Amino acid sequence: MKNFDKAALSLLLVLALALAATILLGGQAGIRVSVNLPEQIAPFQKITLTFSEPVNPQMAEALLDIQPAVDGRIEWLDSRSLTFSPSRPFELAADYRLSLRPGILTEDGAELKREQSWQMKVREPLVAYLKTGEDQSAVWAIGLDGESAQRLTPEGVKVISFDASSDGEFIIFPVANEQKGIDLWRVSRSGTDAAILLDCGLDRCTMPAIAPNGLRIAYSREAAGPSPDLPYGSPRIWVLDLQSGSNNAVYADQQVLGYGPAWSPDSQKVTSYDGLADQIRMFDLATNQQFVFPSNTGGPVTWSADSTKFMFTDIQQGENGLHTRVRLADLSLNDTTTLLGEHDEIDYSYYSLAWSPVEDVVVLGFRKSEDFPAQVFWLFDPGILDGIIIADQEGYTYNSPSWDPWGGALVFQQFKLKGKFKPEIGLWESGFSEPLILGEGLNPQWLP
């Protein structure tokens, strides 16, 4: 028994010495920090730093640095973890260095002994598109060199349309179900985890639009009739919150209809088109305010980068007949004005619109002649109504322009007016004399 007591006492002594050594070495090592970063970061990569023990937020933030400098927002998840979210995308051409300088991190003097740093490089963007035919209707992605196309949605699933998130991390797409309704599916950038996001049962959930912050999905929903013999109801706009799971109609009044939702860059306002009332409706989720803008084209809406203005089109009877106009709604002034079309001698059929996320310039699609159906693209400054034609190849028509996050390149849909129907994906960058064709497909969108 005495031998056993001695052995136990020896073991306790060894454990105590080991614990003391651990505490001593830990104190000498100081606070540690880790960062979980992918091999290549996304343009809007959220960076999470985790400390080995609770730290003072103000002390920690004072030691944090990113070069080249990037504006962004820091949020603390708890006393040991913070996230940094850039307010503008990391630049493609830049090599970034994230670092924490040595310094005190707690009130009782615990410190980071040595500088910690990590190198970051932004991944190359892809373009997502819809590929149809050959018994498929699927979302694919392709590089800007027109190479390495890969399928993102699974075999056997026929995709109706899709929307890509602003950060390029996931895609939402509608798929018909066995109940003859339409569900919303989600798949990540890798294309390996497609699954139903929202089971709509007998209802038809279509035209998804992902909020720029990636937290909500607006979509058009048609309720199934009381019996299979009765038609579906008129479309209404719903919003699905990806964090809370709440899923509700935007407008409580069931008489308010809508399709084609579009988000403001700040993710607080959503517009939709009511074709029955010939109106664009806007709902502000932050204030619960509603606004109405007369329009009879059902065309796209495009927002300014600061979310204070948006453009749309309408058709008005004038002295020279029906004319399409480009209208500007300025929410800060509570005013709507006509930019183009008020005094045109012919109808230029203005339609496609895309406001740059960086500069105060807009891409506009219009017809140069009433006798020719082709639409060309004009890049113009809405302040002075001056600009340049950027897509005007003979025999082609263009629509659905989409800016990359840096405001330096556009992808869009283009069609040959004669010959076999072959939808193509066009790419334009500053300095291009004509668009580059990336491949065949529909509805191109950036996957940054």
CB 447 within 8 A of CB 153: no
* Proportion of the chain in helix, strand, coil states, percent, rounded to 5: 10, 45, 45
Question: Could you read off the pLDDT of 197-234 as tens digits, one per residue?
Answer: 999 999 999 999 999 999 999 999 999 988 877 899 99
Distances from the Cα of 264 to the Cα of 20, 199, 310, 418, angstroms:
57, 26, 8, 37
CATH 2.60.40.3710 fits 34-121, yes or no: yes
The whole-number pLDDT of residue 228 equals: 78
Task: State pTM to two decimals.
Answer: 0.89
- Would you list the domain boundaries of the chain? 34-121, 160-287, 295-448
Q: What is the pLDDT of the chain when averaged over all its residues?
A: 91
CA distance 281 to 302: 14
CA distance 140 to 444: 10
Question: Could you read off the pLDDT of 312-357 as tens digits, one per residue?
Answer: 999 988 777 889 999 999 999 999 999 999 888 889 999 999 999 9
The whole-number pLDDT of residue 322 equals: 87
Asked if domains 34-121 and 295-448 share a fold, the reply is no
Q: Residues of the chain whose pLDDT is less than 70?
A: 1-29
Q: What is the domain class of 160-287 according to CATH?
A: mainly beta
Distances from the Cα of 35 to the Cα of 82, 83, 235, angstroms:
10, 10, 45
Closest listed residue to residue 51, CA positions, set 90, 103, 87, 95 = 103
The whole-number pLDDT of residue 25 equals: 41
- Give the CATH number of domain 295-448: 2.120.10.30
The whole-number pLDDT of residue 227 equals: 81
Instruction: Supply the Cα-derived Rg of the chain in whole angstroms.
Output: 27
The whole-number pLDDT of residue 9 equals: 52
The whole-number pLDDT of residue 429 equals: 94
The whole-number pLDDT of residue 5 equals: 58
Token pair for residue 238? 């719903």
